[in-house]
């Protein structure tokens, strides 16, 4: 496709416009890029990537690089299109996944069944929370009221409401013992196995549900509320600051793991240098052929000092 040129373009600009559009220039540039890619594959990540530059970009990405509100709208529009497309899919996730992968996931769950000391401490702390105590009290209260209503037909809703405070107060007297028993039950390996078997059965059942049903369910009622939440989250400064800190920490960890590795170990640049170079040139050439860049190149070439004449050989 010919590059538009200004009627005021200079002879140098016209020369470079023609030069950049020539097939020979494309081939030469492709060869140069392929060589650079092969050379890049031999370099270590730490020698090529400036970690502080990446950190600077992360610090300023939401104030100088992206419009978070616009990104939220793009994500919402993409999610709508994706949901519409998925509602027409009849396959389940287990149909799309490799059966061996599903088996490997189940084996990984079995291997990680043993609960660590830190996990046990977390469960014990969780059992001490007011929310859990209130949940236990409500469950036991419901069980007591249900039993009384079955055993005593005169024990109705009014009596249950009148005695609710006394019954729950009585339940709280035994709460420390109940919490200790619930914690012991949760961390017991035999019970973990039962919970794991149940979770595996639920997971497999969910994997067998057609994808279209999930998409239809997601868009049936909560879509609008999730979109409002996403818009509010995009404008929330505290959430933006948290995301920035998390991204910086993740980048530091990633760079520490990668800086000593050769790029060729991570990306097969040597094996696919020619193919990648062709794709890179497809992106580079339209940019190089922009009028402003052509004018810049022409001006730089015109300002360059002439090459010295070749030295005469002595006879």
Evaluate whether 232 touches 69 at the Cβ level (below 8 Å): no
pLDDT at 225: 81
Give the pLDDT band (50/70/90) at residue 160: low
Q: What residues have CB less than 8 Å from 111, skipping those under 6 apart?
A: none
pLDDT, average across residues 74-81? 88
In angstroms, the first-to-last Cα distance of the chain is 52
pLDDT given at position 229: 87
pLDDT: which is higher, 119 or 220: 119
Greater model confidence, 314 or 68: 68
Percent of the chain having pLDDT more than 90? 34
- Give the Cα separation of 162 and 41 in Å (integer): 77
Integer CA distances (angstroms), 201 to 108, 195, 205, 237, 251, in order = 15, 10, 6, 41, 37
DSSP label of 306:
P
Q: Find, among 40, 7, 23, the residue nearest to 278 by Cα.
A: 23
The residues with which 44 forms a beta bridge, in sequence order, are 262
For the segment 279-303, what is each residue's pLDDT rounded down to a tens digit?
Answer: 999 999 999 999 999 999 888 888 8
The per-residue pLDDT for 34 is: 96
Nearest to 298 by CA among 17, 19, 13: 13
> Which tokens go with 108?
């990984």
Q: List pLDDT tens digits, range 88-132.
A: 888 888 888 888 887 887 777 666 656 667 777 777 777 777 767
pTM here is 0.63
Which tens digits make up the pLDDT trace of 233-265?
A: 888 989 989 999 999 999 999 999 999 999 999
Average pLDDT of the residues in 144-160:
60
Average pLDDT over residues 175-182: 74
Q: DSSP secondary-structure letter at 44?
A: B
The pLDDT score that the predictor gives to residue 197 is 73
Q: What percent of the chain lies above the pLDDT cut of 70?
A: 77
More confident residue, 221 or 110: 110
Q: CB-hemisphere CA count at 13 Å for 223?
A: 18
Mean pLDDT, all residues of the chain? 81
pLDDT of residue 33: 96
Helix (H) or strand (E) holding 263: helix 263-266
What is the per-residue DSSP string for 78-141? HHHHHHHHHTT---BHHHHS-HHHHHHHHHHHHHT-SPPHHHHHHHHHHHTSHHHHHHHHHHHH
Please give the Cα distance from 302 to 295 (Å, whole number): 10
83 band by pLDDT with thresholds 50, 70 and 90: confident
User: pLDDT digit string (tens) for 2-27?
Assistant: 555 455 678 889 999 999 999 999 99
Q: Does the pLDDT of residue 198 top 80, yes or no?
A: no
* Higher-scoring residue by pLDDT: 82, 281: 281
Mean pLDDT of the region 19-37: 95
């Amino acid at each position: 496709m010919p590059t538009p040129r200004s009627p005021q373009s200079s002879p140098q600009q016209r020369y470079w416009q023609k030069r950049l559009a020539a097939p020979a220039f494309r081939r030469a540039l492709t060869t140069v890029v392929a060589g650079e890619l092969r050379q890049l594959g031999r370099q270590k990540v730490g020698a090529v990537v400036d970690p502080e530059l990446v950190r600077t970009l992360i610090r300023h990405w939401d104030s100088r690089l992206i419009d978070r509100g616009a990104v939220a709208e793009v994500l919402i529009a993409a999610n709508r299109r994706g949901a519409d497309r998925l509602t027409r899919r009849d396959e389940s996730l287990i149909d799309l996944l490799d059966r061996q992968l599903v088996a490997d996931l189940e084996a990984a769950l079995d291997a990680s069944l043993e609960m660590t000391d830190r996990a046990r401490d977390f469960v014990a702390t969780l059992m001490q929370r007011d929310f859990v105590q209130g949940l236990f009290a409500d469950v036991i209260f419901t069980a007591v009221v249900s039993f009384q209503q079955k055993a005593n037909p005169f024990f109705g809703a009014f009596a249950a409401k009148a005695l609710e405070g006394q019954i729950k107060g009585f339940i709280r007297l035994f709460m420390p013992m109940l919490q200790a028993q619930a914690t012991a039950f949760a961390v017991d390996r035999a019970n973990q196995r039962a919970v794991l078997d149940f979770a595996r059965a639920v997971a497999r059942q969910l994997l067998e549900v057609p994808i279209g049903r999930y998409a239809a369910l997601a868009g049936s009622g909560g879509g609008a509320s999730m979109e409002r939440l996403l818009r509010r989250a995009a404008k929330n400064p505290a959430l933006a600051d948290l995301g920035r800190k998390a991204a910086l920490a993740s980048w530091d960890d990633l760079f520490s793991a990668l800086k000593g590795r050769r790029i060729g170990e991570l990306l097969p640049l040597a094996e696919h240098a020619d193919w990648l170079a062709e794709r890179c040139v497809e992106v580079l050439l339209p940019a190089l052929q922009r009028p402003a860049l052509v004018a810049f190149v022409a001006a730089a070439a015109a300002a360059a000092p002439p090459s010295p004449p070749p030295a005469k050989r002595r006879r």
